Amino acid sequence: DGGITQSPKYLFRKEGQNVTLSCEQNLNHDAMYWYRQDPGQGLRLIYYSQIVNDFQKGDIAEGYSVSREKKESFPLTVTSAQKNPTAFYLCASSIYGGNWSPYEQFFGPGTRLTVL
């Protein structure tokens, strides 16, 4: 049963704490992405990774960190430097379709993070 899993589904954090959100895929996709979604809003790109051991900042990377040690895994750490971390976090992956070849992104079910 292929797909993307995210855990936990709900996460509560106290101010000043770092938390790590898990994202795993068994689709054999090269590229992985992290997005943030605020209520009633679209998705904003936090970080993306094209290949193992490589990742790039997206539009709102401040206060977040990632790693890509394995092809299947792309965890996101929300650090205490992120001033407003309460949001819905979505992980996605896609194949590498070659230069200029468009392809869809597959999304996980999301993690809802609440800062207490």
Partner 1 sequence: SQQGEEDPQALSIQEGENATMNCSYKTSINNLQWYRQNSGRGLVHLILIRSNEREKHSGRLRVTLDTSKKSSSLLITASRAADTASYFCATDSPPSVLQGAQKLVFGQGTRLTINP
Q: How far is the CB of 63 from partner 1 (least distance, A)?
A: 18
Question: What residues between 68 and 107 interact with partner 1 by CB under 8 A?
Answer: 88, 90, 92, 94, 96, 99-100, 102-107
Among candidates 111, 91, 86, 85, which has minimal Cα distance to 9? 111
Q: Least distance (Å) from partner 1 to the CB of residue 16?
A: 27
Dihedrals φ, ψ of 107, to 5°? -110, 150
- Cα 111 to chain centroid distance, Å, stands at 9
- CB-CB contact of 30 with 23 (8 Å): no
- Using the rule CB under 8 A, give the single segment among 14-22, 50-58, 62-70, 76-84 that binds partner 1: 50-58
Asked if 51 touches partner 1 (CB under 8 A), the answer is: yes
Task: Give 24's strand partners.
Answer: 5, 73
* Residue closer to partner 1, measured from CB, 16 or 98: 98
